[in-house]
Chain A
Amino acid sequence: MSKRTFVVLAEDDPEIFDSLCERIEDHGFEIETTVEAVGMLVGSMEIGQVDEIRHLSGVASVTEEMTAHIPAPDSDGPF
């Protein structure tokens, strides 16, 4: 088993955010960052356990954290 970093989005209801954070931690999700303004939690958990949190009430989506890049080719010369 290996841990991965996931982005959890809460449903669009600020009232539930705090309780969701607690409940999601109870399922083994280790919270690293939260941004309450947009209902985002970033944290890690075993990849095999992630389905446990997908179906919690108040969870809108769970996706593996992605990395954004400068969109290549940003370079000199014609292509």
Chain B
Amino acid sequence: MEPEPIQELTPEQFAESHSILARPTATGAQILVLREGFDDTAALVNSVCAEYGEYRVASVEPGAELPPDIGPVYDELAIAVIDHPEPGVSVTIAATLAALDEVEDHLPEFYAFADQATGYVNGADTWGRKATGASTSTYTGAGIRVAVLDTGIDLKHPEVSSKVVASASFVPGEAVQDRHGHGTHCAGTIAGEPGITGIPEYGVAPGVDLLVAKVLSNSGSGRQRDIVDGMRWAVSEGANVISMSLGQPVPVGAPHNPLYERMAAYALGKDCLVVAASGNDSARRFGYVAPARAPADSPSAMAVAAVDQTLTVADFSNGGINPGGGELDLAAPGVHVLSIWPLPRRHRSISGTSMACPHVSGVAALSMEATGDSGAALRTRLNSNVRALPAPASDVGNGLVQAP
């Protein structure tokens, strides 16, 4: 089937979309999350507020309003919002309280722009769903298990939490709960379904079962041993696809990393396909193209490049320039990709080959559901069912990934 043409934005629409992205989104307030069941939030917060003037917080009933110099405490949620009028004081108060056992977390408060997002993403589907053909596919990935190896996931996010069938953390001392956001975004691109009016469909394969392995810490890095542990766990949990939006830089001309190759081959031997982001180390505007990172450079893993909305390779996207596995397989949408973000922010549009990778993982699930192909046969099918792009294979592999 001929893929649906992609609607191009007018220059005015494009400028508007960028102005939305560029708009400051933090309110300056802090959201304080206390231990579940803690019932003396206002007193605790005010004991610190008292050191910084007259500002206080107070419990608020649903629908009630508070004066502007009083911050709300939602007792049933054990959450307080600190919005001190002096710049920076809210952060100081929240940081002081964060040292207490009663406090679980503190986060900046953000403005939400749900309504404006529809203009940016061109209607009922994100440009990524349209470009890959997922928006018109009759498949959802039902019955297919996709593992996301990343910074974890927001297990309370209403648009993806029900898709998670198993999760585990391989980062010492850190729970699966995503305090970074990257893993949640990638998982959303695979399986998320919008729960707010005005947010377009953004998940490529909303019918899949998600396996979530936290192998990157909340600061975004992970040891090889933990990543291998996460891959083994995913295979043992019956993953059909492993999505890895992570990597380590590789010098030009260097051979592939033997550990990742062995692990990817092990997974492939169990009919589990590893899909990896090629990396964002290039600066093509200056003529510099970096080689695909590890594990994307493993011969047994698929390497994914990023394209923008004009289907041009992204400036940052690493190339297939190293031999012996460093070649690219596919390209996928990776610029201004709308997906979910840990609450309270809920949605976010970001760019990177990390965003392209889950598009391919989602399409892999659709293809497996449609054809029954798995492992190496699935890879062959994905590499042959593409939309050709006017760019060399070293930039975009075999072309733009296409859903069945």
B259 within 8 A of A: yes
> B216 touching A75 by the CB < 8 A rule?
no
* With A42-B225, A77-B18, A79-B316 as contacts: A71 and B293 at CB distance below 8 Å: yes
Does any Cβ of A come within 8 Å of B232's Cβ? Answer: yes
Cross-chain contact A65 with B354 (CB below 8 angstroms): no
Chain B nearest CB, measured from A18 CB (Å) = 18
Q: How far is the CA of A74 from the CA of B245 in the complex (A)?
A: 10
State which residues 24-51 of B face A: CB under 8 Å: none
Please name the residue on chain B nearest to A39 by beta carbon.
B262
Tell whether B350 is near chain A: CB-to-CB under 8 Å. yes
Selected from A63, A67, A72, A73, the residue in CB contact (under 8 A) with B223 is: A67
User: B308 → chain A, closest Cβ, in Å?
Assistant: 9
Contact with A along B11-25 (1 / 0, CB 8 A): 000000010011000
Residue A40 is within 8 A (CB to CB) of chain B in the complex: yes
Give A34's nearest chain B residue, CB to CB: B225
A35–B216 alpha-carbon span in the complex (Å): 19
Tell me if B224 and A74 are in contact (CB < 8 A).
no
A35 touches B229 (CB 8 A): yes
Q: How many residues of B contact A (CB 8 A)?
A: 50
A residues in contact with B22, CB < 8 Å: 76-77
Chain B residues within 8 Å of A32, by CB? 225
The residues of A that contact B220 with a CB separation of less than 8 Å are 69-70
By the criterion of a CB under 8 Å from any partner CB, how many residues of chain A are at the interface? 29
Interface segment among B160-168, B275-283, B323-331, B370-378: the answer is B275-283
B246 contacts which of A39, A63, A68 (Cβ < 8 Å)? A68
Judged by a CB distance under 8 angstroms, whether B191 is at the interface is: no
Contact of A69 among B18, B221, B263, B335 (CB under 8 A): B221
Let me know if B224 and A7 touch, CB within 8 A: yes
Closest to B317 in A: A71
Given known A35-B232, A74-B355, A76-B21, contact A68–B182 (CB-CB < 8 A): no
Rounded to whole angstroms, the CA-CA distance of A75 and B354 in the bound complex is 11
A7–B228 Cα gap in the complex (Å)? 11
Chain A residues with Cβ below 8 Å from B404 are none
- For residue B363, CB closer than 8 A to chain A, the reply is no
Q: Kindly state whether residue A66 has any CB partner on chain B within 8 Å.
A: yes
Partner of B353, one of A39, A42, A71: A71
Interface residues of B in 279-316 (CB under 8 A from A): 279-281, 293-295, 314-316
A75-B224 contact given A35-B232, A66-B248, CB 8 Å threshold? no
Assess whether B353 is in contact with A65, with CB atoms less than 8 Å apart. Answer: no
Q: Would you call B151 an interface residue if the criterion is a C-beta within 8 Å of the partner chain's C-beta atoms? A: yes
B3 interfacial contact with A, CB 8 Å: no
Q: Are B279 and A63 in contact (CB under 8 A)?
A: no
A74-B225 in contact (CB<8A): no
Given the complex of chains A and B, what is the CA–CA distance between A67 and B350 in angstroms?
Answer: 23
Known: A35-B228, A37-B232, A69-B220. A79 touches B151 (CB 8 A): no
Q: Tell me if B247 counts as interface (CB < 8 A to partner A).
A: yes
**A42 CA / B352 CA spacing, docked (Å):** 31
One digit per residue, 1 when the CB lies within 8 angstroms of any chain B CB and 0 when it does not, for chain A 16-56 equals 00000000000000001101011110100000000000000
Provide the bound-state CA to CA distance between A64 and B220, in Å. 20
- The listed residue (B180, B247, B315, B353) touching A68 by CB distance below 8 A is B247
Among A63, A68, A78, contact of B216 (Cβ-Cβ < 8 Å): A68
A residues in contact (CB < 8 Å) with B? 7, 9, 12, 32-33, 35, 37-40, 42, 60-61, 63, 65-79
> Can you give 6 A-B contacts (C-beta < 8 A)?
A38-B263, A66-B224, A68-B216, A68-B246, A71-B279, A71-B318
Q: 4 shortest A-B CB distances, which residue pairs?
A: A74-B352, A70-B220, A71-B279, A71-B280
What is the interface of chain B, defined by CB distance below 8 A to chain A? 18, 21-22, 150-151, 180, 182, 215-216, 220-225, 227-229, 232, 245-248, 257-259, 262-263, 266, 277, 279-281, 293-295, 314-316, 318, 335-336, 348-355
Could you list 16 further interchain pairs (A-B, Cβ under 8 angstroms) beyond the known A61-B258, A72-B352?
A: A7-B225, A35-B228, A35-B229, A38-B228, A68-B222, A69-B248, A70-B221, A71-B277, A71-B281, A71-B353, A73-B352, A74-B351, A74-B352, A74-B355, A76-B349, A79-B315
